[in-house]
Amino acid sequence: MSDCCDTNAFDGASPAYRRALIAVIAINAVMFCVEMSAGVLSGSQALKADALDFAGDTATYGLSLFVIGASLQTRARASLIKGASLALIALAVLGMTVFRVVNGGTPEASTMGLIGALALAANLTSLVILMRWRDGDSNVRSVWLCSRNDAIGNVGVIAAGGLVAATGSAWPDLVVAALLATLFMKSAIAIITQARAELKSVPVCDIPNSEKTS
């Protein structure tokens, strides 16, 4: 007879994955500080948007690390928190972009290109580290999706920096920031959808006794 607690999705419970996640958390924390400082100094909304994503990733990856080995229900609930956090970041980026549209100002293109390239290198390193674990439950998959988003965002920041330099306009920076917000929201919806599906499919034997009797 099959065990009702068996699942096919990798849940992150391996020493190698823990080490990989700790390394990626450190990379994201450092890059948040670097990119947010550069975003403020250069006036780039795209850099600030990407920096906020680094900050969100640092926090949510820490949550992912904390719930490794927990029940499916606990891991799915953690994924709901991560999805909601990513949605809030998307809304914050949109708000900052609208503010910049109203107040004007052209960002410093050279800083955008340089920091964007540095951030891309950091995120490609994270993707290489996580490559073995790009599939899994919502907790594991959310880490991969966020890292992928970061790499895509970095390419966008670099492209925006080039367009700002070529046109002398702030609009490429603002457009990329808005596109990043859209990507963040799309990933948030995907994470939340998978987590909700996992919660609905939680086997009885995976529910804590305190919740069974409540």
Identify the H or E element spanning 20.
helix 15-42
Quote the CA–CA distance of 9 and 148 in Å, as a whole number: 19
Fold of 15-212: Alpha-lytic protease prodomain-like (1.20.1510)
Instruction: Work out the pLDDT band at 203, boundaries 50, 70, 90.
Output: low
To 5 degrees, how large is the angle CA 36–CA 109–CA 90? 45
Predicted pLDDT of residue 210: 42
Least confident of 100-104, 141-145, 155-159, 161-165: 100-104
* 36 contacts 48 by C-beta, under 8 angstroms: yes
What are the residue ranges spanned by the domains of the chain? 15-212
3-state secondary structure (DSSP) of residue 124: helix
Helix or strand (DSSP H, E) at 26: helix 15-42
The DSSP result for 89-123, as a single string, is HHHHHHHHHHHHHHH-----HHHHHHHHHHHHHHH
Residues 1-42 pLDDT 10s: 333 343 566 777 788 889 999 999 999 999 999 999 998 888
Number of Cβ within 10 Å of residue 9's Cβ equals: 16
Task: Look at residue 209 and tell me whether its pLDDT is greater than 70.
Answer: no
Mean of the per-residue pLDDT values of the chain? 81
C-alpha distances out from residue 202 to 28, 64, 70, 104, Å:
32, 18, 13, 50
Q: What is the pLDDT of residue 8?
A: 61
Distance CA 136, CA 21 (A): 14
Q: Which candidate, 36, 58, 57, places its Cα nearest to that of 157?
A: 36
Could you give the CA distance from residue 170 to residue 95 in angstroms, rounded to a whole number?
Answer: 16
